Structure 1
Amino acid sequence: MARAGLTTERLVRAGAELADEIGFDQVTASELARRFDVKVASLYSHVKSSGDLRTRIALLALEELADRAAEALAGRAGKDALAAFANAYRDYAREHPGRYAAAQLRLDPSTAAASAGARHAQMTRAILRGYDLAGPDETHAVRLLGSVFSGYIGLESAGGFSHSAPASQETWTWIVDHLDSMLRSLSAP
């Protein structure tokens, strides 16, 4: 019998909060059980394992991030859309570092296909439609944007830019400006 008050959703949300506090890599069913002052076995009627918990946190993070990005993109196009999308990711990572790390979790193909991950790709492609990229250039650009944003956010969150000038925000703006210029230069004739 499941312990009163424990639900899958409540456990996943608590796991996401825990990830933001202690880091996604440190989230386990044991650690979560300690937070609820229950035995680990009490969680297993809601989540199958620590791996299942981590996957569910990743799915939550992907959904939250997709919702935030979609809201930021509403009514925008071109460079404004690119900057809003980039800033939505960066802001989410700053506010929810553990959840952002969870969103990077490698999912099995069927779970990934059913996740909000597909929405992220669709939004990126929607932004790129404003640049009128042809053929494989669009796929290359999707991968480029994901790599640049993820890489920069990862380095920034690790403190990689805190020791030198100019300020990280200045570089971020420079990157978005130059990505826009590059994408415009690739536009189909």
Structure 2
Amino acid sequence: MTTARDLTLVALGMPADRPVEQGDLSLALAGAEAIDLLEIGALTLDGDRVSPGSRAATGDRLLDEAVASLAGQGPHETIEDWLWRRGRDLAAAYVDDLQRSGLLTRPPRHGLQLWTSRSVLADSPERARAEERRASGEPVLTALMDAAGTGDAPEEAGGTPAGDAVTTILAAVGDAVTHLEALRLRRDVESAAFDNVWRG
């Protein structure tokens, strides 16, 4: 299992009254992929610029897609730009992947809804591992959970992620999520103003 799958399993296990924003989760998942790829040498970071590493195949379908998205990018984009590009609809891709793997069962979805309260996470070793990692307060997963807005980091969480590159990626995820929230607020304000005009 990868950090991104662990994060997806944790997010899907959140209570129904504490939903996770799909956009926030997608950006955090892209960050999780970047960290996993960095750790296996499939991605390198020069300052805040990303480029393909020496290892091309990961053995994981979605991570291989992430590697492919790095190829041919030149001049190399910033990590935040890559998060936005790679993160588009990434939460839906991970949910679908978990369903295909038998780790999530749910009724057919309608519209843009990713999952419903009737969704059921399988009682699997993968889920147990993700929950153990969450409960341990592992710094990378905890930081990604915070960025995704799960609000469920354990009290004993502590420590900082190792390495400047990982810290750079996590900071970029935080910045991207903050920017997305600002865009949401602006859209809400503009929508409210439009409604007021029509109400006269």
> Shared topology, TM-score over 0.5?
no
Which has a greater percent of helix? 1
Larger of the two Rg values belongs to structure: 1
Higher RCO structure (Cα 8 Å, ≥6 apart): 2
Which has a greater percent of strand? 2
